Structure 1
């Protein structure tokens, strides 16, 4: 009896322990059953020619990845296609021998053979390597995410060419989830490189204008930001802090901001944020304006012709990001619903710490109050004391100078009363 021929999917499933290790090295998690379902069913529906048995074809994998990260993105499928692509691009020993030889390698071998046949000794035909074994730009090949068309750059000085990327070269510390936004080379004589959307390159031009080079967000950054933060409607503070940091440190373009809004927020949340932001567009006096022309120019809903290689374009982006953050904070403010706070009662078997955590969460969810702020201490304290279990409440209410106590003090009293 002959053996059943191996397929890409069956090979991965036969070495799933190693596949899982690779995913772990990329800070990702996989489930075997879902891996099989995606390969045999879901990815077949994308219309790119994905076979039920899986594939090692780099172009086909890239097309499938493009659908997953595209306009109708599938965040839950990201880990699976990222790991699949990573295994093919940087194969472990058990996979190397099974991969078909690439056209580039075959062409290189043919070229080398022809040169040697011309009488040139093989030792002399070897030139110095184009790149060292570790390239500080090696991971940038993964930054496709439907890169937006280039902005206008009339008269802008040309940025120097980035070093060519050598295929299949991966730095030892690799992975889409490792040190998000940072591509650090291992070559001793090179400084670490941060791949930001806008990065100054070279000296200023003739007119003292600094040239900027554009790097899009990596797909892994977006995936990690999405998976590591709670929903905006549940806890807006986390995403506000994240966006505040990203907009300040990464200098994103208008298209980058749309990516962030699309990945991190629901359609309803995104429309609310944009609506609030457009109400807060600053006029000439710095106060919110109602002039529709100024609003459309400052906070456009369609891609604007802002050139980041010009001071005017960068200033427009700066004001846009500031207005976006103002809209984000405005959208996070919710009407006060103290009845919901009153509904939070300590359960019979609930610890005081868990009960306090629910009180704080309710304040964040149903009021615009920050329960950790000093001015909110009294409101949180009253709710904690009045809604705790009856026996604990009686002991707390007998404490002298209750208003001078901290939540930590009251938590200790509650725990001792158990």
Structure 2
């Protein structure tokens, strides 16, 4: 079949990792077939956080790797963590993956690629310190104040857009990207083993100027804006996701007023944008009441470019942060959620569903279709109420016995639900053993002969035992109609004919009574022969 890695070109992260397992000293820890199975079959099926998706060919995206690591740790898939660390190890060795095809392995493409029709790498796929943008020409630092010589122009310059050779003479800090140079603060005469990959601080990017580190604005590309719009989603449909992703963008990247305006314009319709800006300015007015140093609405959230200075320790950065704070508050206030508690009634726990997964589904629906916060007292009570009433039958039966009911902490309810969930197998096994024991007892009783058989002549065949003696023979143990000795001769004469030797019910010559029948008040028959008593009619 050949080498497994031959199916995956080295231009992919998976193929590059397979080719460099020995170099990374992972050949003893990672099995190639297992690595291929996880990357191509198992990991793409996982539902990761932040809507991340693992590509079958692998990736070096920090966000995807982090989400996959968190997912495996949360589910206890510790054996897969080792294979995820393999991609982290490859990611930390740019000299290895730079030898592979840079189109898919490197964290970002060079802006000077000879294929301009391809989209440039978005900064949304990786963290700010790992994004690839075209690096500036090497910076020549100015001479010290005591030295009056002009800046040296004889330093070797390298084309930052040319591909990185696999091996070569060491280059100095000046030939590395400018942002990396400003972080390391290394002098120009100290060489480094190898240059670092291009790094980006988008859209404000740190570069070294004559007076120190300055920030240069790098506008969003159309590909970046398209991915931002896709990531934020529709504000009216799901404002929670929109606010979460917008907060992430503002925290992760150094934005300007123009960048914020572009994001709002490209992801919101005019009506939504107007409502958010109005609510944001109203929030600024409320802050101004508590702190007079905070500007009023139009000044805090300007509609025109205020031309702020975004350099370090400048008031423009604080004004920008205040604007972001007001925008987030305005989004919270302007989010018009459609309250629909019927959606909560549709969430019912499956018989084999984990109680924690069921609670997560309830929490997501509560957040999406109501204005309640699951962490608030009211939201927690409603969440606990639905958790109790819509759990599986055996769990619901146990939760309904809780003394505080929905007022109980949700953590206690989940803990109790897990006890029932984990004891299902034990309960089923105990019931099965009880049924087997009962069947064995019945079978043993059927096979065992009776030790004290009852005589047929003494006991009646009816299920009910007789009480007293038979009035015909005077003996106990049977009914009069089944008396084995036949009828007994009466001791008194028949009241119908005044003759002896027979019972009144068997009288051959009955005489009519002299008085009316006490049952029907009619003459001509005895009470024992009354037709009303035989038919059940009223007298």
Q: TM-score, normalised by structure 1?
A: 0.48
Question: RCO (CA 8 Å, sep 6+): is it higher in 1 or 2?
Answer: 1
The structure with more helix, counted as a fraction of residues? 1
Q: TM-score, normalised by structure 2?
A: 0.39
